[in-house]
Each structure stands twice: as structure tokens, then as C-alpha cells.
Amino acid sequence: MGYRHAEAYRNDERCRIVACADVVPENAAAFAETFDVPEENVYEDYEEMLHGVHPDLVSVTVPPAVHETVVVGCAKHDAVNAVHCEKPMAHTWASAQRTVQACWRTDTQLTFNRQRRFGKPFAEAKRLLDDGEIGDLRRVEIGWGDFYDTGAHTVDLAGMFNGDRPAEWVIAQLDYRDEDVRFGAHQENQMWAQWRYDNGVHGVLSTGEGGDLIDAAFLLRGTEGVVRIGVEDGPMLELDRAGERTAVDVDGETMHRAGSGDDRFGSVFHDRVVDHVADSLETGTEPVLSGRTGLNTAEVLFGGYESVRKRGRVGLPLEIEGNPLEEMVDSGALDPAPVEE
């Protein structure tokens, strides 16, 4: 992920990559060679990097369990004006909240890399909604990905379609029979979740074995029509009104990238993110990728896992501190079969 961030900074004329830090020296050296970082600005310790080069903006691309430590450490440094962090936000609900609060207290711009907001399939879908093409939004249905990892994108996008409003409650169930650990965090195999936003719009997600519940990755259901994104055996974006389904042009972009992506580490989506992060820093306006909006997504994710644990609907604001999925695995309530070596 660090390479994807760096490539996007390199493509923005306002940015210059001045240093890097990695606890594995060989990784830092390889990164430095790729992005022309001077040898004297290659570090193992990020705090030494902060004191050595005084960066204006820092990208954090470490596992979620370390996000809080590094993000808050950067925010407390006088030179750092902005931190751009990978998703998911954090490994626990309390950690996500502390991270956002620490950056607010130090007046440090905090953003999370939810780059799909800048992909044309999703941006055009939002335009169709805003233009009233399907009337009033009633439900966002998701049939792609998972709940914690990819869910940091999909649930975030559901929030975007609904004006980044907070949810009132969430109810969920999952299956976790085969161990799946990503970046140090457990990830369920199948998930069903429903949540309601404070304006009455619902979100529904069905992943894993239930991912084919709808005929698209996303379905936005309104009072006068439907928008589909990632239609199975169909167009990337489709408008359905009165039974007439029309493909909407997104310049060949997919849910993941623009173009083939064969000639780069990331995608044009990452370039658009960095452009937005830099613009927000220059103008002093809140980024759409802010920590504040990120908490709306994280609350649904951790609230969904809490619903599984308590076997019932969970009202929000969320009152727990940890990660119920991890805690259910630790307690033996969930016992996934280890992956064979």
C-alpha cells in the first residue's frame, strides 16, 4: 500500500517524497530506491523520521493494530499538518475514536484511504442519486466483498450515497469456519448485516456464500427506480426506471481502477485521493475522507460484530470498546479451522 500512496504523491506536482520509515530495513531500502529517497532520509523508526525531516504530510500504511500509535505520534509532531492513513481505521472501536480525537485536538487533518469514492462508477451513481433519477433513496444493498476489510470501502460508500449520515442501529450474523487473517486481523467468511440511518434509509449487506443475493455489487433502491453498480454479466453502472435498464457511461472505469493498471502500483483513484487530500489541506475544508466520516463506517462494522455476539439488534451510538469478532475468536465462541501450511 505504501507504494500506491507514494506513486500518487509523485504524480502530484504539489508533493515531494522526502523520507520513508520501515521496521524492516530491506523494505525501506527498496522503497527508497523506487522513489528516489535520499539514503540519509531512510529510517527504521518513524519518530526519528519525523524529527529528522519535519514532513508536512505523512502516509501511514501499517497494519490496523498499529494505526493509532503511528497516527497519533505523527499528529503530536509540530511539523505534521496532515496524516493520510490506510483503512480499516483501527483494530478496535475505542482505538478508532481515540485516533480521530487526537488529530482533532492537534488540529491535524486526518484522512483514510477510501479511494473508491473517486471511481467513476461510484461518483456517477451518486450524481444520479443527487439528480433525482431514482427519486428518494430507500435502501443500499451490497453483495460484494466482506465486512471488515472490503467493508471499510463498501459500508463507507453506502454512507456516501446517503449523505454521510450516522446509523441508528445494526443487526447481523456471520459464519467463520475457515481461518482468514489479513494484516493481523480476523475476517469472517460470510456476513449478513442490516442497519438503518437516522433518516430512515437502510443498508443491507450479504457477502461470502450469500454474495449472489443481488445481481450486482451494489444496488441503490429509490422510490422511482434503481441504480446498479457492477452488474453481473452486465454494465459497470446501470439505471433502471420503470423496468427499462440503461447502461451509464463511466469511461471504462471499474470498481477497482481506471485502465488496465498494468503500468503502475495503484490506480488513478489513488491519484484523485491525493489531489483531494492536498486540496483540503490548502483550503482548510473538511475532506470527504475525514476521520469523522470514517467513524460512521467503523461504528457499523464493530456494531455488526457486537450484534453477532449479543444475538440481537445493537443500538448506536456504540457503547463497547473492543473488536467483538476478535474477542469471540479469543474466547472460543468462534473456532475457525486453521489454514493448512
Residue type for position 66: V
- 66 confidence band (pLDDT: 50, 70, 90): very high
Residue type, 13: E
- Please check whether residue 10 lies inside any domain of the structure: yes
135 pairs with which residues across the strands?
none
Grid cell listed for 205? 449487506
For residue 64, the enclosing domain spans 2-115+263-289
Residue, of 3 and 263, whose pLDDT is higher? 3
Instruction: Give the CATH number for residue 36.
Output: 3.40.50.720
Q: How much is the average pLDDT of 257-269?
A: 80
User: For 92-109, what is each residue's pLDDT tens digit?
Assistant: 999 999 999 999 999 999
Among the listed residues 90, 29, 57, the one whose alpha carbon sits nearest the alpha carbon of residue 294 = 90
94 within some domain? yes
User: Does 194 reside within a domain?
Assistant: no
DSSP state of 115: G
* Inside any domain, residue 36: yes
Query: Does 263 have pLDDT greater than 90?
Result: no
Which residue stretches of the chain are H helix? Answer: 2-10, 25-34, 46-53, 64-75, 93-105, 120-130, 151-161, 268-283, 291-310, 324-331
Domain count, the chain: 1
Q: What is the pLDDT of residues 198-211, one digit of tens each?
A: 999 999 999 999 88
- What Å distances lie between residue 3 and 100, 257, 287, CA to CA? 25, 16, 22
- Flag whether 106 is in a domain: yes
Coil vs helix vs strand at 128: helix
Mean pLDDT to the nearest integer, 80-86: 98
* Residue 22 belongs to some domain of the structure: yes
CB 236, CB 253: distance < 8 Å = yes
**In the numeric block, which cell numbers belong to residue 315?**
443500538
Cell of 184: 493481523
Residue 261 has pLDDT above 70, yes or no: no
In a domain, 183, yes or no: no
The dihedral over CA atoms of 166, 171, 173, 176, expressed in degrees to the nearest 10, equals: 30
| CB proximity list for 157: less than 8 A, separation 6 or greater | 114, 116, 117, 122, 218
CA distance 309 to 321: 14
For residue range 142-175, what is the model confidence (pLDDT) as tens digits?
Answer: 999 999 999 999 999 999 999 999 999 999 999 9
> Is the pLDDT reported for residue 248 higher than 70?
yes
For residue 61, being part of any structural domain is answered with yes
